[in-house]
Amino acid sequence: MIILYFADIFGKPGRRAVQACINDLIAQHTPDFIIGNVENLAGGRGVNRKTLEELNQMGFSAYTSGNHIWDNKEVYQLLGPETKLIRPANWSSPEGEPCPGKGMIILHRGNERLAVINVMGRLFMDAQDCPFHAVDRLLKEVPPSTPILVDMHADATSEKYAIGWHLAGRVAAVVGSHSHVQTADERILPGGTAYITDVGMTGAFDSVIGLKPEGIIKRFITKRPQPTQQASENPGVGCVVIKVNSRGQAESIERLRFTVKIDAIMQGDLE
């Protein structure tokens, strides 16, 4: 089984970058499942029906997310029982008031099956329930012999490594998202778990994690809120290709990062 996974696909530059290369990636790697993290899909803030449909048309199998999942109010309509969009499984919620959506999806394609789990870290982010306990609970629900991919959406490299080792030999892959910066530490952990701390952003590379630098620099210098704008220059792709054997163990993980040439993608609104 081959899995193609894109970390945070940021706004229109990100969607256009995927569109520009997806056919070549499919031809070259023949993925059985294509997964994308869509917490920044609609203008950098959350996800809506229109932008998700664009990825559906490109052949995506399922979507993970993170702390920006609720930024666009349309998301509540996208989390019904049949949805391919999951949210962090450990999102905190009061007793008797379950969080909308789900944290795991089981995908089927021909004879192939893949469980996708999304959890979120707690260091330097809004505190949530324990991601280690959440993923342990979900693993008990996965049908036997089903390969598992976990998207660990977290800020701290330490927390991502910890969950990688916690799951080593128990899942096919632990892929990191959220930082928007790709790390060059992809490897196979003992027991056949593909691991990378962060797959990096798919979006405008000439940016501060997706936004135009000017407003962000001013925010850091003045320590006051400043208007920010989505960046559009130098769009590129961050993704990984993971090969999983018939025992549900990863045999390889290939990290890809490249820019794409797109003419005038930024005409009109930037959503």
Shortest Cβ distance from residue 138 to Fe ion (Å)?
Answer: 20
Shortest Cβ distance from residue 2 to Fe ion (Å)?
Answer: 25
Shortest Cβ distance from residue 153 to Fe ion (Å)?
Answer: 6
State phi, psi for 153 to the nearest 5 degrees. -95, 105
Our CB check for Fe ion shows the closer of 16 and 29 to be 16
Shortest Cβ distance from residue 32 to Fe ion (Å)?
Answer: 25
| Binding residues vs Fe ion (CB under 5 A) | 8, 39-40, 66-67, 178
**CA 247, CA 89: separation in Å to the nearest integer?**
25
Our CB check for Fe ion shows the closer of 39 and 186 to be 39
Q: At what angle do helices 157-167 and 131-139 cross, to 10 degrees?
A: 30
Our CB check for Fe ion shows the closer of 230 and 249 to be 230
Report the helix count and the strand count for the chain, using DSSP H and E.
5, 12
Residue 109 CB neighbours (<10 A)? 12
Residue 146 CB neighbours (<10 A)? 15
Q: Which residue among the candidates 29, 68, 153, 178 is catalytic per the annotation?
A: 68
Query: Residue 171 in contact with residue 151, Cβ under 8 Å?
Result: no
Is 153 assigned a catalytic role? no
**CB under 8 Å to 258, separation ≥6 — which residues?**
21, 236, 237
Our CB check for Fe ion shows the closer of 40 and 61 to be 40
Shortest Cβ distance from residue 201 to Fe ion (Å)?
Answer: 7
Element (H, E) at 153: strand 148-153
DSSP secondary structure string for all residues of 100-142: SS-SEEEEEETTEEEEEEEEE--TTS---S-HHHHHHHHHTTS
**CA 94, CA 102: separation in Å to the nearest integer?**
15
Our CB check for Fe ion shows the closer of 167 and 209 to be 209
- Tell me which residues are annotated as active site: 68
